[in-house]
Amino acid sequence: NAGVMQNPRHLVRRRGQEARLRCSPMKGHSHVYWYRQLPEEGLKFMVYLQKENIIDESGMPKERFSAEFPKEGPSILRIQQVVRGDSAAYFCATWGEAQETQYFGPGTRLLVL
Amino acid sequence: KNEVEQSPQNLTAQEGEFITINCSYSVGISALHWLQQHPGGGIVSLFMLSSGKKKHGRLIATINIQEKHSSLHITASHPRDSAVYICAVRGSQGNLIFGKGTKLSVKP
């Protein structure tokens, strides 16, 4: 994954709680993509951020989901008032230098009870 | 209709067999990507193609831009090749648009 880090790797939440997923892209990279993989489904784009800016959030659910990438620190995907349908694997990724390879983090597996 | 379609959805092969996974897309693209998702969930990029053919070890990827079709071939398949293989095209903001994946199981 060339240094894309995500934590936690596994997260269990009860319905109604908040989930915070963190992603640190490779050193020197100032952009991040978030993707979601629902059980038995393909990966879907959620949001594209550059430092302090949301560039494209067309894949984000309209309610309860938000994302940020502050000047300092990791990118955060925040899910408020989680529901069982939010249970999924959430991946972040960045492009390599030559824009030929997208490097993925190991993912956060969210389980909502 | 999905922008990226893969077939087959599931594939079981015997060790040593030649494997082909197909991908068709409906949008204009500058490049197509093949990725592998391991049983543990990790995702790695295998190829980026904009034309022709690329080879890496036992893996070969081809693309036909006119027909909007790509294939991933695995020669002399091995049980360690068992994984989900995913085709993706690049969206306007650099995001990837994925097919649903092909789950490959290679039996010894």
**What digits encode the pLDDT tens for the residues A15-31?**
999 999 999 998 888 89
Instruction: Give the 3-state secondary structure of residue B81.
Output: helix
Chain A neighbors of B93, CB-CB under 8 A? 48, 55-56
Query: Which stretches of A1-113 are assigned E, i.e. beta strand?
Result: 5-7, 10-13, 19-24, 31-37, 43-50, 53-56, 65-68, 75-79, 88-95, 102-104, 108-112
> How many angstroms separate the CA of residue B34 from the nearest CA in chain A?
10
Contacts across the A-B interface (CB distance below 8 Å): 54
**Model pLDDT for residues A26-50, shown as the tens digit of each residue:** 888 889 999 999 988 899 999 999 9
Q: Report chain A's mean pLDDT, rounded to a whole number.
A: 94
A41 close to B (CB below 8 A)? yes
Chain A neighbors of B98, CB-CB under 8 A? 35, 42-44
Residue A4: burial class (beta carbons within 10 Å; 0-12, 13-18, 19+): buried
Q: How confident is the model at residue B52 (pLDDT cuts 50, 70, 90)?
A: very high
Chain A neighbors of B48, CB-CB under 8 A? 100-101
